[in-house]
Amino acid sequence: MKAFSNMTQSVRRALCAVMLFSSVDCAGSVVLDNDDELCRWSVVLNGHLEVLLPDGTRQHLHMGDRSVNQRCEIPTL
């Protein structure tokens, strides 16, 4: 997958040891509202995701794409 392509095998294994899996069953579901903050690195494993940004623009993420919340400090492995 594109999101993991720049990582070494050892980094991928370390990431898998701490990663959290979340599933959304219904198309069109709201995953986060405006007041919620996703403070992590996310990868779309299957399907696609539409992100409505505060300025009104839409970002489309597809299988293998990653999203990082720039306002959060992302830990390194």
pLDDT mean across residues, the chain: 76
Q: How far apart, in Å, are the Cα atoms of 75 and each of 6, 15, 22, 72? A: 16, 11, 20, 9
Answer with the residue of higher pLDDT: 73 or 58: 58
Predicted model pTM:
0.58
Answer with the residue of higher pLDDT: 11 or 23: 11
pLDDT on residue 10: 92
Q: 26 in a domain, yes or no?
A: no
Q: 13 in a domain, yes or no?
A: yes
Number of domains making up the chain? 1
18 pLDDT band, cuts 50/70/90, is confident
Helix (H) or strand (E) holding 18: helix 9-18
- Segments forming the whole domain that contains residue 17: 2-21+33-68
pLDDT on residue 74: 47
Plot region of 5 (φ>0 → left; ψ -120 to 50 → alpha; else → beta): alpha
In eight-state DSSP terms, residue 26 is S
Q: 76 in a domain, yes or no?
A: no
